Structure formats: structure tokens, C-alpha cells
Amino acid sequence: MSATTMRVARLHGIGDVRVEQIPVPEPAAGELLVRIEACGVCPTDARKFAIGVNDGSYPFNPGHEWVGRIEAIGAGSDGWEVGERVYGDTYAGYAQYATIGIRPEGWSRGALALGELPVERAVFVEPLADCLHCVRDQAAVGIGQRVAVIGMGAMGVQIAAVAALAGGDVLAVEPRAERRALALRFGAGAAAEPVRWRDAAAQRWGGDAPEAVIVTVARAAVAAEAIDACAPGGRVVLFAGFGDEGVAAVDLNRIHYQEIVVVGSEWVGTPPHQRYEHYEAARDLLASGDLKLEELVTDRTGLDGVGDALRAVREQRSYKTVLLP
């Protein structure tokens, strides 16, 4: 039979994470109880740890990229089976158990059936869905298009990979050699250091500018340069949030005369044009085997190591950490 209490790592304030023993939640009507197998540690989680929670109250469980097997099923939740692997995107993942609704609510997509998708690949369902949104909806990458992706963090590599799958010719821009190599392995056609990327682009594309520039690093000057570097009629996608450095001096004449499109890409659930179908697409893409994203995982931790893991993510000392509770 099931446990009645569980371990959880929750935030109690800035820089204050505590591992506690609390009751296993009961699945309400329309909910599933899930035994968590793994949870991605996301830079958003690390930000909440470092600067505070602004969309909830303490104690707060920030994990929202989690995978597990159904333990119990609430009333009115037909069509699910105990033992089935599911994905959840509620703030509940730094724990041994979590509940999730079977229907979308607020920003949560609700439970998503995973089949037997491997656990460490499956933690990428939500991040990859955001990358699909970025590449398909916001950057509108097509066959043969010239695409520059700035920054090869774990999200940047996924974006580069998806843009290549969509037929784009991807130039990955990144200072660290090992990350450039990773980008090439995941489908980028070329890679360049930031200081010389525009030369590399001109060389690769016979003097033509990129038709899409996707910015995944939180630096306003990089975004302003992207607008300058983009081809006429092209698209500059701001995938990163810019934190305190969010104001840039932008050349409006370039936007006007070249009809450049500057657009944000936050996540698949940003109103008013939610595209939740990307969750299913991400799941199916991971199942196809074309994207072995588990290779991006560099660090693993248990619940007791969550504080260290959050610090490492925040300080960019870890590439992709997975919590195994």
C-alpha cells in the first residue's frame, strides 16, 4: 500500500530551502496522485530560490518539469490507469508524490500520458514544447532558412535542434567550445563565437543575413544587435527574459524600413494564443528517438541536494540538473 507521508524540498524564503516530511496529498475529483520519478531543475526554479517567489506563497515547491507513475486516481478521472507514466507541469515536483488535474487549469496543461518514454528524456516535455513554440510559431522557421541561435544553454541547444529538424540551416552562437560542439551534434550546421558570429554568418550564407535570429541569453545588447543583424523581413525572437537588464536602445528605423518582426517567445501557454498542442508534439518527438535529450543531463541530485543544485543552476555551473527524489 501507499505511503502516508513523503519527503519534499520546499522554499521558505530567499535562499531558504528545507527538506520536510509532509502528508502525501489526496487526489481530488478530476486529479491523479503520481509517484514522482524525476523532476527537471529549471533556471526559473533557481530564480525563485535566489530572488524570491512572486507567484505563490511560502512554503513553495517550485519543480514544474516532473515525471512519474500514477499511484491513485481521483473520482471522475476515467481513462487513466494506475502505474501509467505521466508528465506534470504544476509546481509540485520537488517531492516524492504530487497530484495533477487531468484537465488543463490555469497555466498547467494537466496530466499528459507518456507511454514508456525514458524518465530522463521525459523531463524535457515542457521545455521542448516551449522550443517548438519558439521555432514554429514565433520564428516560423522553414526549409532552407538561415537561422542564428544565440546562446547554447540547454534551451538554446533544444531550439537549435528543433530549428534544424524544421529544415533550417542553423548557426549556433556560443562562447564555450564544448557547447558549440554539442550544438553541432544536435543538428546545427555551423557554430561560432559571439564576437565573430556575424562574420561567420556572412561567410556561411554568401553575404546574406539570417532570416531568423533567436536570442536565448539575457542580455539586452545582444537583442539590439540581433535586430541589426537580421535580414529584411526577418524575425528576431526574444526567447530569454532579460531580468534587470531589460531596456535596450533599439533602432526603430530598421524595424520600420526593413519590416523586421521582433517578437517574444515565453512559453506555449502565454495568452491569448495558447498552443497547448505542443506538449503532445514534444512528447511524440521525444518518443520518435530523433532527439535524445537525456544526453543534455549533466547533473543529478536527491532531495537533500536541491539547495546546492539550485545554486549551481543559478550560477550557471550546471548545464541541466535532474532531481531524482
Evaluate whether 124 touches 282 at the Cβ level (below 8 Å): yes
> Which listed residue (1, 57, 78, 256) binds a copy of itself by CB under 8 A?
256
Q: Does 162 bind a copy of itself (CB under 8 A)?
A: yes
Please report how close the Cβ of residue 264 comes to a copy of itself at its closest, in angstroms: 4
Q: Does 302 bind a copy of itself (CB under 8 A)?
A: no
> Which listed residue (23, 175, 246, 302) binds a copy of itself by CB under 8 A?
246
Question: Which residue type sits at 253?
Answer: N
Chain position carrying cell 528524456: 121
CB count within 10 Å of CB 251 equals 14
Q: Report the site for a copy of itself in 3-32 (rule: CB under 8 A).
A: 28-30
> Which listed residue (39, 67, 95, 223) binds a copy of itself by CB under 8 A?
223
Residues that contact a copy of itself, how many (by CB under 8 A): 59
Evaluate whether 191 touches 171 at the Cβ level (below 8 Å): yes
Q: Does 105 bind a copy of itself (CB under 8 A)?
A: yes
Evaluate whether 291 touches 128 at the Cβ level (below 8 Å): yes
Q: Choose between 230 and 322: whose C-beta lies nearer to a copy of itself.
A: 230
CB count within 10 Å of CB 300 equals 15
- What residues have CB less than 8 Å from 185, skipping those under 6 apart? none
Please report how close the Cβ of residue 87 comes to a copy of itself at its closest, in angstroms: 16
Classify the C-alpha dihedral 123-128-130-133 as positive or negative: negative
Say how far apart CA 121 and CA 323 lie, in whole Å: 13
Please report how close the Cβ of residue 53 comes to a copy of itself at its closest, in angstroms: 17
Please report how close the Cβ of residue 325 comes to a copy of itself at its closest, in angstroms: 28
Of the CA atoms within 13 Å of residue 41, those in its CB half-sphere come to 33
Could you tell me which of 115, 171, 129, 85 has the C-alpha nearest to residue 270? Answer: 129
CA of 279: how far to CAs of 66, 235, 275, in Å? 13, 24, 8
Q: Does 248 bind a copy of itself (CB under 8 A)?
A: yes
Q: Report the site for a copy of itself in 270-299 (rule: CB under 8 A).
A: 270-273, 277, 281, 284-285, 288
> Which listed residue (13, 56, 233, 302) binds a copy of itself by CB under 8 A?
233
Q: Does 247 bind a copy of itself (CB under 8 A)?
A: yes
- Contact residues toward a copy of itself (CB under 8 A) are 28-30, 103-105, 132, 135-136, 138, 142-144, 162, 165-167, 169, 220, 223, 231-233, 238-243, 246-266, 270-273, 277, 281, 284-285, 288
